[in-house]
Amino acid sequence: MTDLPDLRPAAEHLATLLGNVADDQLGAPTPCTEYALGDLIDHVSGLSLAFTAAAAKDFSQTGGGPSGDATRLPDDWRTRIPAQLTAMAEAWRDPAAWDGMTQAGGIQLPGSVAGAVAMNELVVHGWDIAKSTGQQFRCDAVSLASALEFTSARATEEPSPDSPFGPAVEVPTDATPLDKLVGLTGRNPAWQP
């Protein structure tokens, strides 16, 4: 695989967003309807560990995907989770992470797919957290294009009950790439808390 996407910009922005979340915001709603903000942050923590292990082909982590439960957030989550995100992005800088088979959340998948899922998670959940907390969301063009390519390919597949995406939200044909991505994941680009 050539021109591997760099997860660092999306991971760094998500880490910055997390650092600006106030304790009294943890119960706030998010565009990811199954999660309140604290639950979503716990989900981000779990996925950062799962995709770091996936990059390293560390199959010692077993079980389902990361759940979301704000009660599991440790006191130091504002520093711990950003460090986990940094480790995840660094793990995916190794070209070997993108080769062969791996697993994440108990699901076996090609490394190239796992890396694309990891990027998509960073971008989409970064947007979720920014919208939920009233922060500005930034995304570099490469990260956005990678997430949109992955999500667009999955949107044409037959929907399944275990799909990570809700039903697509229709957006105008001239919508921005970010709005297209958000709509394909079942979120309304105009969502407000």
Please report whether residue 152 resides in a domain.
no
Please report whether residue 67 resides in a domain.
yes
According to the model, what pLDDT value does residue 154 have?
76
Please report whether residue 155 resides in a domain.
no
Residue identified by tokens 């440790």 is 74
Please report whether residue 12 resides in a domain.
yes
Please report whether residue 148 resides in a domain.
no
Please report whether residue 116 resides in a domain.
yes
CATH number of the domain encompassing residue 133: 1.20.120.450
According to the model, what pLDDT value does residue 164 have?
62
Q: What is the spatial distance between Cα 22 and Cα 39, in angstroms, rounded to a whole number?
A: 14
Q: In Å, how far from its chain's centre is CA 130?
A: 13
Please report whether residue 131 resides in a domain.
yes
Q: Tell me the pLDDT of the chain (193 aa) as tens digits.
A: 458 899 999 999 999 999 999 999 999 999 988 899 999 999 999 999 999 999 999 988 665 556 899 999 999 999 999 999 999 999 999 999 999 999 998 889 999 999 999 999 999 999 999 999 999 999 999 999 999 999 998 775 555 555 566 788 899 999 999 999 999 999 999 999 8
Return all residues near 48 (Cβ < 8 A) that are at least 6 apart: 81, 84, 85, 87, 88
Domains contained in the chain, number = 1
According to the model, what pLDDT value does residue 67 have?
80
The answer to whether the CB of 81 falls within 8 A of the CB of 41 is yes
Residue identified by tokens 């779990």 is 46
The 3-state DSSP composition of the chain as helix, strand, coil percent (nearest 5) reads 55, 5, 40
According to the model, what pLDDT value does residue 1 have?
41
CA angle centred on 131, ends 12 and 134, rounded to 5°: 90
Please report whether residue 158 resides in a domain.
no
**In which domain, by residue range, is 59 found?**
8-142
According to the model, what pLDDT value does residue 49 have?
94
According to the model, what pLDDT value does residue 181 have?
96
